[in-house]
Amino acid sequence: LSVVAPDGVGEVRRGADLVALLLPLVELRDGDVVAVTSKVVSKSEGRVRPGTREESLAAESARVVARRGPTTIVRTHLGLTMAAAGIDASNVESGSVVLLPVDPDASARGLREDIRERPAAMSASWSPTPRDVPGARDRPTSRSAPPGCTSSRTTPVGSTHTATRWP
């Protein structure tokens, strides 16, 4: 397993082409998993709002689960339980907050499709074999998720299948 966090991406703003920002910084191969933070996706989708976390909290919450001092734990409209509905005030213009993407699954599918549509994104000359991946011989032969992947929502860039949970 190797993880790459590319340097060189500037401030992401509404309408930014995330794939165009990403591809010059990485060399993707069939089976690679691309993870993009919700903040970056939200910024490109225009989910930055003026105001404070508290001002946006009610609109982003389905219900309050708990309060601990200044922290409010809520269930979001997406069904996630988290502090402050995932509203983030860091690394944005002062007086602004970033809300979670409206439909993160749709955002991920869109990114995956955009990456697939750009032929320079994939190195077609490499395809992993069981000897390339430690322990792969002990796993199912389906290539729908990379070895070690436990998220049922993670799908490799080159895959046409939905991901599965590995044993």
Q: Which of 23, 24, 29 is nearest to 2 (CA)?
A: 29
CB pairs under 8 A, 24+ apart, for 81-84?
Answer: 84/53, 84/57
3-class DSSP state for residue 75? strand
Look up residue 71 and give its two tokens.
């922290």
Would you say the C-alpha torsion 153, 88, 57, 14 has a positive or negative sign? negative
Q: What is the pLDDT of residue 52?
A: 96
Q: What is the pTM of this model?
A: 0.69
Q: What is the pLDDT of residue 29?
A: 86
Look up residue 118 and give its two tokens.
């750009």
Model confidence at 151, pLDDT cuts 50, 70, 90, reads very low
Instruction: Find the helix or strand (DSSP H, E) in which 81 lies.
Output: strand 81-83
Model confidence at 148, pLDDT cuts 50, 70, 90, reads very low
